[in-house]
DNA sequence: CTAAATTTGTCATTTATTGACAAGTTAATA
DNA sequence: TATTAACTTGTCAATAAATGACAAATTTAG
């Protein structure tokens, strides 16, 4: 899966023969805004990931990989970050786990 | 370098024998807020990365690696993302490069 | 004890994100 | 080509998040 998250949603939606309006309704969002999301002109809101998973019966862990992978990629692309950034990120995740940082409330 | 970005700044600052007030002044920010940043209670603002690089004569590319690596790690930790997220991110960066997506204005 | 350094709490302001809707374009088809 | 559903784009008020600022602790070093 190399597509952006917007392209990914569009693929899921059209594969299932849904219109923007239909999917937007499932996601509790305006069809015009869903269009922007699919076209990369708005971000998909974290808090709707669960609805998206339900709509297409997706594995939630895999969906998170797509979603956050997309976010990271956009940042890196926008700021021209070397791919070393990702290795450092991995180290730092392990570091955070090792010190068991108190963290913001998990949203899902 | 495994520390959080806040710890990293504190290390740089104390190594150079600067007080919070002194560094805060260089970064054009309140010392109380810098304290919070070092202690992971606030985010360091992207727009001050250049000032930080200047203050400590750091390589800007490496600083970005630290900064964004830290951001990604925090997200992954907070949302319990599998490390596959990072591989997907890499694929997606390459995808974005390949399609030469029009992007938000680069801030530095 | 004192003074400097640091931390914590709060809050108004600023900035960014979102929801909503109107108006426009495109695509399919009768 | 007229009609209609689907989609896109633009705008803006409302909401939410980030930031700056400052006062009031607390900690640290001498």
The three-state DSSP-derived secondary structure of B14-31 is HHCCCCHHHHHHHCCCCH
Contact (CB, 8 A) for B69 and A92 = yes
Nearest CA in chain B to A101: B77
CB contact under 8 A, B69 and A89: yes
**Local structure of residue B47 (DSSP, 8 states):** G
Predicted confidence (pLDDT) per residue in A59-90, tens digit: 999 999 999 999 999 999 999 999 999 999 99
A11 touches strand D (CB under 7 A): no
CB contact under 8 A, B106 and A64: no
**Nearest chain B Cα distance for residue A31, angstroms:** 23
For chain B, list residues whose CB is within 8 angstroms of any CB belonging to chain A. 1-4, 40, 61, 64-66, 68-97, 101, 103-104, 106-108
* Helix (H) / strand (E) containing B52: helix B49-56
The separation between CA A71 and the C-alpha centre of its own chain, rounded to angstroms, equals 7
pTM of the entire predicted model: 0.91
Q: How many residues does chain B have?
A: 108
B22 touches strand D (CB under 7 A): no
B108 vs B32: which has the higher pLDDT = B32
The three-state DSSP-derived secondary structure of A49-106 is HHHHHHHHCCCHHHHHHHHHHHHHHHHHHHHCCCCHHHHHHHHHHHHHHHHCCCCCCC
For B36, the token pair is 């919070």
Predicted confidence (pLDDT) per residue in B28-75, tens digit: 999 999 999 999 999 999 999 999 999 999 999 999 999 999 999 999
For A60, the token pair is 């939630």
């Amino acid at each position: 899966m190399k597509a952006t998250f917007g392209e990914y949603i569009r693929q899921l939606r059209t594969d299932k023969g849904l219109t923007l309006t239909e999917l937007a309704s499932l996601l509790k969002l305006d069809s015009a805004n869903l269009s922007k999301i699919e076209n990369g002109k708005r971000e998909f809101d974290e808090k709707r990931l669960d609805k998206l998973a339900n709509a297409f019966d997706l594995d939630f862990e895999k969906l998170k990989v797509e979603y956050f992978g997309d976010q990271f990629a956009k940042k890196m692309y926008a700021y021209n970050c070397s791919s070393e950034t990702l290795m450092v990120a991995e180290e730092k995740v392990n570091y955070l786990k090792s010190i068991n940082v108190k963290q913001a409330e998990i949203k899902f």
